[in-house]
Amino acid sequence: MSTVFKGSFTQQEPIPEAGIEAALRVMRGGRLHRYNVADGEVAETALLEEEFAAFTGAKYALAVASGGYAIGCALRALGVQPGDKVLTNGFTLAPVPGAIAAVNAEPVFVEVTEDLTIDLDHLARLVAETEAKVLLLSHMRGHICDMELLMQICDGAGVQVVEDCAHTMGGAWKGVPSGRHGAMAAYSTQTYKHMNSGEGGILTSDNPDLMARAIMLSGSYMLYARHRAAPPPEAFEQVKWVTPNVSGRMDNLRAAILRPQLADLPRQIDRWNALYRAVEDGLRNTPGLKVIDRPAEESIVGSSIQFLLPAFSTEQIAEVLKRCAARGVDLKWFGGAEPVAFTSRYDSWRYASPQSLPNTDRILSGLMDMRLPLTFSLEDARLIAGIIAEEVRSTALSA
């Protein structure tokens, strides 16, 4: 009998006890709205923003309703107009092009490389060929490209960069935290990301004008002075008259749950990376399977792992998926003809104009993806990698 994995790929850890206690305190006080504070009280949301700004090194931070909201808010703050072209990754998740569509702008997709990062040659070409003035850069599945080169391309052409850090909260490029290169950065605190408040997002920036606009957009009314990781009141003088309220605040309950998780994040990152390296080691040297080598410049948060089966046919990949599933290993495939669960592709987003990305098609057709929740032990990680390696081997042999 071959071994079967019995764990759940979607089971996260419980909220830390300190977070549960803080949430109870907020609920007992009844002051869940971020601007509802007692005399002398500082809202949990304002404290979270202050602590998150310190964590990333950003001057300003704003807590909002979701990661997708944070991205949309950044595009609005940058003044993206209906019909504008916005560059973004061909390989990302649906909320990214969705945020572009939500401001009636047009996504222009950039190819992915075999390292699963944005193709900088293709980006440079599109920057030259289109009038796009914004790149919404998705660090999809935590893979960070050469950020210095990317910023050179974009700065050189006056293209503003918004970083989607949904998968890189706590990651870095050459020691610079992910999110610290572009004009603004969006993070998600949705259940499947690196901190869990069910839903939630955080936006960061060093630019006082952009952040003042973002705070007004999020629905601050004229209470922006209650923010602690915000630009000074002068930054709002003009902005407050011309910025619509597109309500999307975070509440104190979520912030209370998140603050202890933020304090714990460095330790959690080490645990994720230990799981990641255990799976990576177990997959290495499997014939037909290509591990994605991570550059030395990149500090990762290994909350998921990807690998390629470049020479496998569609039928063989379906066979690997079926065999692994039968042994309890839940792999996702980015090459399927139909979008499944969270997995969709640039050609599934048919509200965008049709675009052809041959390299992305080829790479995604062999791309496998797997979550690594912290409820897994190192033993689980080794068992899972062993199952995948065995099933890839036997599928290759039976072909």
The correct pick among 19, 34, 56, 66 for binding ligand PLP (CB under 6 A) is 66
Q: How far is the CB of 192 from ligand PLP (least distance, A)?
A: 7
Give the residue with the Cβ less far from ligand PLP, 209 or 369. 369
Helices (H), 166-238: 208-218
Query: Measured from the CB atom, is 161 or 387 closer to ligand PLP?
Result: 161
| 201 contacts ligand PLP (rule: CB under 6 A) | yes
- Euclidean distance between CA atoms 151 and 173, whole angstroms: 12
Q: Is 162 in the site for ligand PLP (CB under 6 A)?
A: no
d(CA 244, CA 354): 32
Using CB under 6 A, which of 45, 56, 92, 365 touches ligand PLP?
92
The single residue among 19, 72, 90, 95 that binds ligand PLP, judged by CB under 6 A, is 95
For the chain, how big is the Rg over CA atoms in Å? Answer: 21
**Contact, 275 vs 372, CB < 8 A?**
yes
Structure-derived torsion over alpha carbons of residues 135, 95, 108, 112, reported in degrees to the nearest 10 = 80
CB atoms within 10 A of CB 55: 18
* Strands of 60-64's sheet in order across: 60-64, 201-205, 184-188, 160-164, 134-138, 85-89, 106-110
By beta carbon distance, the residue nearest ligand PLP is 67
Taking a C-beta distance cutoff of 8 angstroms, is the pair 133, 159 a contact? yes
Residue 368 near residue 119 (C-beta atoms within 8 A): no
Stretch that binds ligand PLP, among 4-12, 36-44, 93-101, 103-111 (CB under 6 A): 93-101
Nearest-10 Cα torsion for 201, 261, 145, 203: 30
Residue (374 or 389) nearer to ligand PLP, CB = 374
The region of 53-61, 159-167, 223-231, 242-250 touching ligand PLP under the rule CB under 6 A is 159-167
**Nearest CB to ligand PLP, comparing residues 92 and 243:** 92
Question: Would you say 123 and 110 are in contact if contact means Cβ atoms under 8 Å apart?
Answer: yes
Q: Is 67 exposed, middle or buried (0-12, 13-18, 19+ CB in 10 A)?
A: buried
Q: How many residues bind ligand PLP (CB under 6 A)?
A: 15
Candidates 91-99, 203-211, 230-238, 240-248; binding stretch for ligand PLP (CB under 6 A): 91-99
- Residue 140 interacts with ligand PLP (CB under 6 A)? yes
| Nearest residue (CB) to ligand PLP, 31 versus 141 | 141
Name the segment binding ligand PLP (CB under 6 A); options: 119-127, 149-157, 164-172, 244-252: 164-172
Q: Give whichever of 31 and 34 is closer to ligand PLP, judged by the CB atom.
A: 34
**For ligand PLP, the closer CB: 142 or 231:** 142
Per DSSP, the three-state class of 24 is helix
Rounded CA-CA distance 235/251 in Å is 24
Residue 67 as a binder of ligand PLP (CB under 6 A): the answer is yes
Contact flags string 233-252 toward ligand PLP, x per CB under 6 A = --------------------
Question: Residue from 68, 72, 107, 386 that binds ligand PLP (CB under 6 A)?
Answer: 68
Contacting ligand PLP (CB under 6 A), which of 49, 84, 164, 280? 164
Contact range with ligand PLP by CB under 6 A, out of 89-97, 128-136, 235-243, 381-389: 89-97
The verdict on 207 binding ligand PLP (CB under 6 A) reads: no
64/56 Cα distance (integer angstroms):
17
Residue 87 makes CB contacts below 8 A (sequence gap 6+) with 108, 110, 123, 126, 127, 130, 132, 134, 135, 136, 159
Residue 251 CB, nearest distance to ligand PLP (Å)? 15
Give the nearest distance from C-beta 136 to ligand PLP in angstroms: 10
Q: 142 with 304: CB under 8 angstroms?
A: yes
In the complex, what is the shortest distance from the CB of residue 190 to ligand PLP, in angstroms, rounded to a whole number?
A: 4
Write b or e for each residue in 321-357: b if 16 or more Cβ atoms lie within 10 A of its Cβ, otherwise e.
Answer: bebbeebbbbbbbbbbeeeeeebbbbbebeebeeeeb
- Give me the least distance between CB of 71 and ligand PLP, in Å please: 6
Scanning 62-70, 228-236, 347-355, 378-386 for contacts with ligand PLP by CB under 6 A, the matching segment is 62-70
Sign of CA dihedral 214, 215, 221, 222: negative
Q: Within 10 A of 31 (CB to CB), how many other CB atoms are there?
A: 18
Give me the residues that bind ligand PLP (CB under 6 A), please: 66-68, 92-93, 95-96, 138, 140, 164, 166-167, 188, 190, 201
